[in-house]
Structure formats: structure tokens, C-alpha cells
Structure 1
């Protein structure tokens, strides 16, 4: 039996987390006060064989009947021969106060781990017109397994500040991949996220938006900070850095975003690799599209339909 505990890349890395807090925190569902559809695509460490390629598609909306928000999220990540795919539904309960909005959210769903054994090569394998790893652990074909998954979070939001604390894989996630010749176990660790951003209006035309993100599995930590400058609420540009010591230095990021219409936001970021992989990686590319539609009566009276974050 082979056992794998994945931390460094068990949850996909996205540099543009500040555009979509919902991806890491179900408590954000509904706080855009519109039907909000977001899609992210990321190619990480391009140039390395089998580099991670991740997609995240989500939709969430306020719902007055439930006094909060509801949402759906689908995540897919391909890393060499491995693929992780998850789907979850979420609910958030939103409370209004004189200083802003507090919410608590939960999400539940399933996660699939899949291994394409045909992409593996073992030292003693035979690959001449066949796939024979000569290893009882490794499958020659595709195998997969399913497991339950859940997350939970807290969030606070007002016209200037957004901050949230969340945990993913809050229940033990154990996935067995059972093929004809293999039994692989994946145990995904719980991860904690603290993320926030602040809007500072410098003038009627210029705004600053600093943001931070810290994630941990309880033993290891990774942090990043970003600064965006907004011009007339239509263009955002900025930079960020991920890492804070020799163990965690990962990337410097450049970001640009354009609000094409009141409803549509497009963005692109490029990560300059600064870790030990910089000699073999050509960096990481990420794109994001967000579309918001006001279809429903606001669940939270008094808040602007379009969150002033971006």
C-alpha cells in the first residue's frame, strides 16, 4: 500500500484570490449582492513536465428566503498523472450590524482523486508497445476514488474592509484509489485561510487596495501580500509577493484587471518564479472572468448591488 499526504499543492494555488473570496471561504456566498459567476484558469510553473493546471468555476447569489447566500463551486486540478476534482454546495447566513455584515458559511460536497497510470514510468518497467510497470503498486491504466469534503468559514464585509477566516477539508478526507494492481491512499490535510483586503480612496479617480492571504495546515505556513491601484473604477493594476522566508519564497506577481462593463470584470496575472524552480519554470499564468447580474431582491437591505471591492 502506498500512502500520500499532500499539503503543498493539495488545494490549487490562485494568485487572484482577492477577486473571488468565495473560492476559499463559503461564508462569502451572497455578499456580492448579485448573482456572481466566476471562472479562474491557472497554468503553474509552465515549462516543467506535468505542471499543475487548475480551473475553478463558481456561482453564488443572495437569497432572502434563507436570510443569506447559496452557491456552487467546481474545482479541477491536473498535476502530471494525478487529477483532483471537487464539487460542493454552500450556504451562508448573513447578519447586518451598524459597522458592516457578518456571515458564517458551510459547504459540503465530494472530491475525486484520479491517477492515469499510463503516464507513469517506473525504473524497471517495460514500455515497448505496452505499459507494464513491473510494480504491484502502480496501475497501468486510469483509476480513481471518491471521498466526502466539507469547508466552513466566517466573513466580515463593509464598504472598505473585507476579511475572512476559513478551513477546508474540515472532516478527515481519505480517498482510496483501487485499481487492478494498486491500492493508493490519499489523506488530505485540513487547511486554514486568513484573507483580507482594504479599500482606500485616494481621490475620486484613484483607489488603493492592499490584500493579504495566509494559509496553513497547522504546521507549515504560506503568506502573500498584494497591492492594487484602481483608476476610475475601471482599471486595476498592481503587484504581489508570495513567501516570507527561505522555505516559502515562491513568486512575485504582476496583475492587471479591466472592468469591461458594470457587470463584467476580466483580469490576468503572471507569477515570476523565485523559488528553486526558477531555473526550470517559465512562470505561471492566470486568467479570471467575473460576471454579476442583479436578478433578485437584495437579501441584505442597504448594501450596494455591486460590492465596491472592484
Structure 2
């Protein structure tokens, strides 16, 4: 087993005294890509959700360089009016390890129909565990009575809350982390209580994205972040991001120091989006103080994210089209104002609409007249059919039913079997060169009567054409569509045998 720290050293250098203040939360720079890291109000406010892995390695020249990692997931629910998310994180510096988990909820209040203007409020609840592995430390005197045990750890509730105001591409956020300001207590080897306070952290951020170029493929996004820890100097971080089509990012940032040591940093970042789903980013940090940077080393931060396919891609296309339409509309209005033809164009459009309306009314009148004529023809055909029926009834010897051609439901096509029947009847027609052939078209009673009448007429025409192709004189063939009025059983019941054409030969 390795040695362990003395109590004073462990408390002063690892924890700080109970009244001492320090920045306890990891300083991620990739909140510019994943704003949920620092503000629960941003839960589910982008797309259909994402999975994010953030890793940061600090001060690589130190033998036990701090390593921080966070895995987060968030997505909208209830038609994007709410958001749910969660985060697991760990922060380890040599013998000190902090592990926590949070569950988040956000409510998004829209001020506009398209959701581009609104206010979001978010809340996170969870647990945080602080652990000190003194077994891994090296000390001069392992028998010193002023020591802690091999390990010390404690767990406490964690609470975050935040607000975010958005207007188009502007976002202004406020958040409070470690809001309970609670204590994690330990006992040393002499049974004395030692506590560690999870100090409240306050964050404020603001960013706006400016589109560049006629097609707005390029953008520039300045982002400002401030971190406030009671008892420490205000820390300010300014970022300037450049991008192309939401696929490539690059930028620079400067972060001021928040303690007596000059730990301010200069940052460079790049990011790439693959097929609008996989996202990778890397940031390189170096201390602004050259001598201190040589002692501590540089810092590296990585991010890997998966963003679910979502309607936002379509919405972005729609928004782009709307913006183009608005731009074209503005140009058109400006030209109309400059040329003084706006009112004349409107009057001409009204006149054209009136002329079109008058033309449509005339067409309606013509169609009504044509319908009346068709009704007269149908009435005459009905009269002729009734007269023919009566003639057949009174003089049955003059009319001879030589066959029937059958069809499938709703169809007017001849099958091979029915064509053979017509070819077999060809000689019967040829033996009576002066006789007339009447084609009575029929349909079953299922369906609309008007459509059935049309279908019976189409069946008559198909039979007539086939007989003409066989060499029969077209002047000897009369088509008489009956619709569903000539049922074999004389009732309204559906009968498949009603789907036929009867061939009646007169003397």
C-alpha cells in the first residue's frame, strides 16, 4: 500500500479549508457546441435530441493531469414544448475523484408560432459523490497521527436550474449549478469532522449567429460566457466561431483567470459535422502566461456527438425557402414602389380575375346546356328502348335472342371465351344479311346507377367493335345500353349474370 497524505496537506491542497473557495466544476469550452453542459434550460431545444461525449485533459505537463469526462443525452418531447435529458460526469485529479449524475427537465414557452422566439426554464436533480483515495498518495511519515484513513468519501444531492431566452439566432442564458450549496462530511483518524462545501456556481452566456453571403452558407457566431463563484474573481470567456453550412466550424477564444494564479488561456477550436448526424470537435488551450504554461502544460478537449435525424433539417430548408420568398417579396415591392405600377398591376390582376370568372360562368352555362341535351337524348333512348321492348313482347317471332356475352365486375373487356362465342355466331349473322342486330348492354345493381349505365354502354361498344372486325356491317348493329334496369330476376339483388350484353336478331 502506498502512503497517505497528512491531514493538513490533504485539506489545504486537495480540498481547501471549509471556508476556502475554489472553482469546483470542470471548465468545459465545448458548451459552445453542447449548451446543455451548463444550462438545463437548453434540454431538448435543438432538433430531435443528441448523445454527447465530452472529454478534457488539463495541464498535460503535470504527473497527475486532471481528466474530466461527461456523457449527456437530451431530447424534446410533447411536440418540442418540453425536454428531457440526463448527464453522467467524472472529474479526477490524482487522489481526488468526483462522480455525479443528473436528470433534467425543461419547459419551452413559445412566443411565436414557428418557435423562433421564446423562453425556456430548466431544472436538474441528481447526486454527486466526492472521493479521496489517500492510499494512492505519497507522504514522508506514514505513522503521523494527523492523517485520514485510506479512503474518504461522501455523497450529497445536487441541484441545477437555468433560464434561456431565444429570439431567432440569439440565445441569452442564466444558470445556477450546485444550487444546494450543501456539504460533504468526512471523519479523520481522530474522529474529527471535516467538511467540503459544494459551492454554488453562477453562469451567464449570450450568443448570436450572423449569416453571411447571398446564399447564407457562411456564418459567424460570437459567444460570451461569465462564471461567478462567490469569493473568486469574475471569469469571462469570449468566443468567436466561424462556420460553413453547419458542417464545418473553426474559432478562437480567450478565458480570463478566476484565481490569484494567472491561469488565463488562449483557445483554438475546430469542428466537423458528418452527414448532419455525427459531430466531432477538438480544442487546444495554452496558458496566456508563458512561464506558467511551460510548468503546467497545454490542455486538450474533445467532443463526439450523435444527433438524431429530425424535422429540423426540413424546417431549416423551409425556413431558408421562407427567407428567400421574403427577400423576393421585398425586392418586388421595392420595384413596384420605384416604378409606381403597384396599383395598376393590382387592377389588371382584378380585371383578369373578373374575365376568368366570366369565362368560367360561360363554360358552366355551356355545360348545363350540354347536360340538358344529353338528358333529352337519354330520354329518347329510353323511349326507343321501351318501344323495342314492347315490340319484342308483342311480336316475339320477329326477334330472336342468339346469345349473351358476359363480363367481369366493373370491366368492359372481352375474355377469350366470349370472343370465341362471337366468332361462332358470325355465320348466324351472315345467313341473315337483312336482319338488324340489337346489342342490349346490362350491368349488375351494385354501384352508382349512372356509372352502371355508362359501363353497359362501354360493353355494347366493345362487342360492336369486335363484330365489325369480324366483317359484320356496322349499319346493321344498334347499341342499346340498359344500365341496371334489365335485371334477369327483375329485382334489386346483385346478380353476376346481369353483367352482360344480349344479342337480339330481328327478321
TM-score bracket, shorter-length normalisation: 0.7 to 0.9
Q: 1:198 aligns with which of 208, 219, 236?
A: 208
Provide the residue aligned with 1:277 in structure 2.
292
Secondary structure at the counterpart of residue 159 of structure 2 = strand
Higher RCO (CA < 8 A, seq sep 6+):
1
| Residue 163 of structure 2 corresponds to residue 148 of structure 1 | no
Conserved 8 A contact 1:36-1:290: yes
Secondary structure at the counterpart of residue 41 of structure 1 = strand
Conserved 8 A contact 1:5-1:188: no
Q: 1:76 aligns with which of 90, 94, 99?
A: 90
Looking at structure 1, the residues matched to 274 and 18 of structure 2 have their Cα atoms a distance apart, in angstroms, of: 44
Secondary structure at the counterpart of residue 292 of structure 2 = helix
Aligned pairs for 1:87-126 (under 5 A) are 87-98=101-112, 100-123=117-140, 125=141
Conserved 8 A contact 2:41-2:163: yes
Secondary structure at the counterpart of residue 103 of structure 1 = strand
Aligned pairs for 1:127-142 (under 5 A) are 132=142, 134-139=144-149, 141-142=150-151
Aligned pairs for 1:30-109 (under 5 A) are 30-64=44-78, 67-98=81-112, 100-109=117-126
TM-score of the superposition, structure 1-length normalised?
Answer: 0.86
Conserved 8 A contact 1:238-1:254: yes
For the pair shown, the structure with the greater C-alpha radius of gyration is: 2
Conserved 8 A contact 1:212-1:225: yes
Q: 2:198 aligns with which of 167, 181, 188?
A: 188
Query: 1:289 and 1:6, CA in 2 relative to 1: closer, same or farther beyond 3 A?
Result: farther
Provide the residue aligned with 1:229 in structure 2.
242
Shift of 1:51: 2.0
Provide the residue aligned with 2:448 in structure 1.
none
Shift of 1:18: 0.9
Q: What is the RMSD of the two structures over their aligned residues, measured on CA atoms?
A: 2.7
Which blocks of at least 5 consecutive residues in structure 1 are unaligned? 126-131
Q: 2:276 aligns with which of 240, 262, 269?
A: 262
Higher-strand-fraction structure: 1
Query: 1:85 and 1:284, CA in 2 relative to 1: closer, same or farther beyond 3 A?
Result: same
| Residue 225 of structure 2 corresponds to residue 213 of structure 1 | yes
Q: 2:25 aligns with which of 11, 14, 18?
A: 11
Query: 1:304 and 1:8, CA in 2 relative to 1: closer, same or farther beyond 3 A?
Result: farther
Query: 1:93 and 1:303, CA in 2 relative to 1: closer, same or farther beyond 3 A?
Result: farther
Conserved 8 A contact 2:264-2:288: yes
Conserved 8 A contact 1:144-1:178: no
Secondary structure at the counterpart of residue 280 of structure 1 = helix
Conserved 8 A contact 2:45-2:80: no
Provide the residue aligned with 1:288 in structure 2.
303
Deviations 1:58-114 (A, max 9, x none): 111111089411110111100121011110111111100136121111111100000
Provide the residue aligned with 1:28 in structure 2.
42
Query: 1:142 and 1:70, CA in 2 relative to 1: closer, same or farther beyond 3 A?
Result: same
Provide the residue aligned with 2:255 in structure 1.
242
Secondary structure at the counterpart of residue 236 of structure 1 = strand
Secondary structure at the counterpart of residue 296 of structure 2 = coil
Looking at structure 2, the residues matched to 150 and 133 of structure 1 have their Cα atoms a distance apart, in angstroms, of: 40
Looking at structure 1, the residues matched to 143 and 137 of structure 2 have their Cα atoms a distance apart, in angstroms, of: 8
Count of residue pairs the alignment pairs up = 295
Conserved 8 A contact 1:121-1:133: no
Secondary structure at the counterpart of residue 25 of structure 2 = coil
TM-score of the superposition, structure 2-length normalised?
Answer: 0.54
Query: 1:18 and 1:180, CA in 2 relative to 1: closer, same or farther beyond 3 A?
Result: same
Higher-helix-fraction structure: 2
Secondary structure at the counterpart of residue 219 of structure 1 = coil
Shift of 1:20: 1.0
Looking at structure 2, the residues matched to 194 and 163 of structure 1 have their Cα atoms a distance apart, in angstroms, of: 8
